Amino acid sequence: MRCLIIILICLSAAIPCTARIIYVDDDGPADFNNIQAAIDDANHGDTIIVADGTYTGPGNRDIDFNGKAITVRSQNGPENCIIDCQGSEADPHRGFYFNSAEDANSILVDFTICNGYADKGGGIYCNYSSPKITGCTISANTSIRWDGGGVYCRNGSSPMITNCTIAHNSAQYGGGIKFVSNSNATISNCTISGNSAEWGGGINCFTSTPTIINCAIKGNSGAGIYCSGSIKSPTIINSTVTGNGGAGIHCHGACATISSCAINANMGSGIYCTGRDNSTLVNCSVLANSGENGGGIHCGYSEIFTIRNCVVTGNSATASGGGIYCSDLANLVISNCIIWDNTASHGPQMALTGGRDNAYFSAVWTNYSDIEGGESEIYVEIGCALDWGPGNIDADPCFVDPGCWDTNGVWIEGDYHLLTSSPCVNTGDPNYIAEPNEMDLDGRPRVIGGRIDMGAYEYSPPILAEARIVPRTINLKSKGKWINCYIWLPENYNVIDIDPNSVFLEEEIQPDRFSVDEQEQIAVARFSRSDVQAILDIGEVELTISAQLMDGTVFEGTDIIRVIYEGGGKLAKFGKASNPNPADEATGLSITADLSWTAGYGATSYDVYFGTSSPPPFVCNQTAATFDPGIMVYSTKYYWRIDEVNKWGKTTGQVWSFTTKPLPPLPPTPPSPPP
């Protein structure tokens, strides 16, 4: 019996403890009614699930994981589970406090954390800790003193922050997030917007090296990202930095590695870098930014900056360097770039100055780039150096659809891919060797066709798809509603990857409905019949449907259909001239006036009838939609008619009329000379 007891004890000791699920609900049946109590009871590996509701007061703010490797998550997402810190200057509180060497096994998931008010880290504070924070909304939190309105990390804290929204937080440094003292966090798939600070409204990095991947950093004040201190180098990849004030990215005393990013429509420069070596900008767009000096990019104070494979366009500066500005010993190396359509008082595309006291001269080396105006649009102060290397051109880059500012001062996004006719295709550095797995801004291979293109996007000829339009014969007399186009992609492509918003017929008509059958590998675009018929002529017509896949690959398919007009009656709707100028029965017309009209559908030429009788006599046949009757007679009524000649015959027009102005009175008889 004694042996049996010993065996049972040994077996029970060998069985591991089972991880528990602990439930929290502040106003319903659960294991605990506050989050801190559940954490205090938890062991490593446990999961705490918090029911929907707004959690306030002790136990639901200033929450501490106490170093435990546990998961704390909401039951139904951040919109349904809110931690309201109710912090104030008189009674400061934050959401969570990680201070016990927590690592990625301490996980916080799917909460809204709001109204924190603390000395640092109004929403979340990490000290010597690197938890995983995912799916959270961190908003409306404040740092009383200086740092990290939303999140504050220090002393090597390197959390993983993923799929979070960090918005409308405030601090003096790092309104959204502040990293300090070797806090090398990874931020991915996050939106950081509407935060405010004096330095780094979105993110502030001091002597830290965060990695920012696939993030949208927008609408922050005090710069989208601000980095400073020592030789630390934040890395920013595949992110959009847009609409920020105080610069999109501002690096002072720190270098940055920026790749495959869109840095657009920021104020205070798109990128503002000073005082450190070896910042790089690769495969990026820098569009529609503005500033005093260097609307797109500002480099200064011994900065060594490499810009490669980028588009810098549509930027403006009130003083110098609409696209790029270099001063105070800055050294800039540019290759395979397009610098175009930037504006400034001095050096619309680029300006090089001596900076302070005109004694700290800057230098630029550029090669294999398309720069508008060539050297004539680059301002170079005496003492500065511009090395105009091989392969530079000055030619319209032929973007697909350049962006523009609307009448309300809002930037309308454009398409900066290259057309087939672009002089920037296959004209980059012939010796350029792409880095392993290097991609363009679309995520496609950086070199296609044997030689790199200038700009951020490699030109890729469209792949050929099969298209079939139904019905095969379209009767312009028909009152049907839809025309369908069936699409089959080549082998190794998947119709599920087609971007529905990129589908166009003849580059102008989008479908009312788009669907895919992944199993059968067929896509169907349904177009409004009236929209399609408006662009058709009688006869055999070739139509092209085009779209993009999610990776930016373009495809095209063509089909030929038959267009007829049958159903009785005369073809008036599609072939009659209209909108006469002068208007029908107009009076007071000049005797030297020309006649014009709006062409009817499908017209190839016009039979002109003109004279003083009704109906007027035939005068001529012509292709222009204007007619010069010569000098007419005052106070005379004229009649005219336009018959349109088209593919299906001739359409008789309406008789119009007008009356010329009266004969001007004769000048008065001069007085007789005196006797």
Q: What is the mean pLDDT of residues 615-642?
A: 93
Q: Is the pLDDT of residue 10 over 60?
A: no
- Residue located via tokens 């079939």: 468
Question: In this predicted structure, what is the pLDDT of residue 210?
Answer: 94
Identify the burial level of 250 via C-beta atoms within 10 angstroms of its C-beta, where 0-12 means exposed, 13-18 middle and 19 or more buried: buried
> Looking at this protein, which amino acid is placed at residue 126?
C
pLDDT digits (tens, 9 = 90+) for 357-407: 666 789 999 999 999 999 999 999 999 999 999 999 999 999 988 988 888
Question: In this predicted structure, what is the pLDDT of residue 31?
Answer: 97
Question: In this predicted structure, what is the pLDDT of residue 487?
Answer: 95
Pairing of β 177-180 and β 151-154: parallel
Q: What is the mean pLDDT of residues 409-423?
A: 89
Contact 34, 55 (CB under 8 A): yes
- 305-314, 342-351, 400-409: least confident range: 400-409
Q: What is the DSSP string of 628-674?
A: ---S--TT-EEEEEEEEEETTEEE----EEEEEPPPPPPPPPPPPPP
Q: What is the mean pLDDT of residues 138-159?
A: 94
Distance CA 124, CA 177 (A): 9
pLDDT digits (tens, 9 = 90+) for 157-184: 999 999 999 999 999 999 999 999 899 9
- 5-19, 59-73, 492-506: least confident range: 5-19
Beta-bridge partners for 41: none
Question: In this predicted structure, what is the pLDDT of residue 16?
Answer: 44
Q: Is the pLDDT of residue 302 over 70?
A: no
Q: Is the pLDDT of residue 568 over 70?
A: no
Question: In this predicted structure, what is the pLDDT of residue 276?
Answer: 64
pLDDT digits (tens, 9 = 90+) for 195-219: 999 999 999 999 899 999 999 999 9
Radius of gyration of the chain (CA): 35
- For the chain, the average pLDDT equals 90
| Proportion of the chain in helix, strand, coil states, percent, rounded to 5 | 5, 40, 55
